[in-house]
Amino acid sequence: MARSLLLIGTSGTGKTVYGGQLLGRLQLGLGAMSLRTEPDTIEPLFDAWQSLARGRTPPRTARGTYKELVLPVSAPGLGPVDLVWPDYSGEQISDVVVRRHIPDAWRERVVGADGLLVFVRPKLVKQPIDIITRPLPEIRSAHREAEEPPPAEVVEGASTAWASQADLVELLQILLYLRSESGVRRIANLPLSLAISCWDELPGSLGASSPREVLRTMMPLLDEYVHATWEDGSASVIGVSAQGRSLLPHGVDEAFADEGPENQGFVVQPAGQRTPDLTWPVVDLLARAK
Amino acid sequence: MERQCTQDGCDAPLASCNAGFSPMRACPHWVRARGDHSDQKDSDAADAHLVPWPWGGLGRRDIDAIASRSAPHLIGVVGLPNEGKTTLLSMAYLHLSMGGSLSPDRFAGSLSLGGWEQLAQPLRWEPSSPPRFPPRTPRAAGRFPSMLHLGLRGPADTLRDVLLTDAPGEWFARWSTDRNAAAAEGARWIVSAADAFVLVLDSEALSGPDRHDARTQHAAMIRRLGAEAAGRPVVAAWAKAEREIPASIRSGLETLLAGMFPERFVESVSVYEQEMRTRYLPLLTRAFSAPRQRAGVPAEPVTAADDPFLAFRGR
Q: How far is B16 from chain A (nearest CA, A)?
A: 8
pLDDT digits (tens, 9 = 90+) for A47-98: 999 999 999 999 888 888 888 889 999 999 888 999 988 888 888 888 888 8
pLDDT > 60? residue B135: yes
Which of B41, B67, B44 lies closest to B147 in space, CA to CA? B67
pLDDT digits (tens, 9 = 90+) for A217-233: 999 999 999 999 999 99
Contact state of A150 with B130 under an 8 Å Cβ cutoff: yes
pLDDT for position A86: 86
Report the predicted TM-score, pTM, of the whole model to 2 decimal places: 0.85
- Burial degree of A35 (CB within 10 A; 0-12, 13-18, 19+): middle
Q: Which residue has the higher pLDDT, B224 or A131?
A: B224
Query: What rounded mean pLDDT belongs to chain A?
Result: 86
The whole-angstrom separation of Cα B292 and Cα B48 is 40
Query: CB-based contacts of A121: which residues, under 8 Å, 6+ apart?
Result: A9, A12, A13, A14, A196, A197, A198, A201
| Terminal alpha carbon distance of chain B | 45
Of A102, A134, A139, the CB nearest to B132: A139
Most confident of A60-69, A281-290, B86-95, B210-219: B210-219
Which residues in chain A have their CB less than 8 angstroms from residue B16's CB? 100
The whole-angstrom separation of Cα A85 and Cα A67 is 8
ipTM of the predicted structure?
A: 0.87
Q: How far is A221 from chain B (nearest CA, A)?
A: 5
Contact state of B130 with A152 under an 8 Å Cβ cutoff: yes
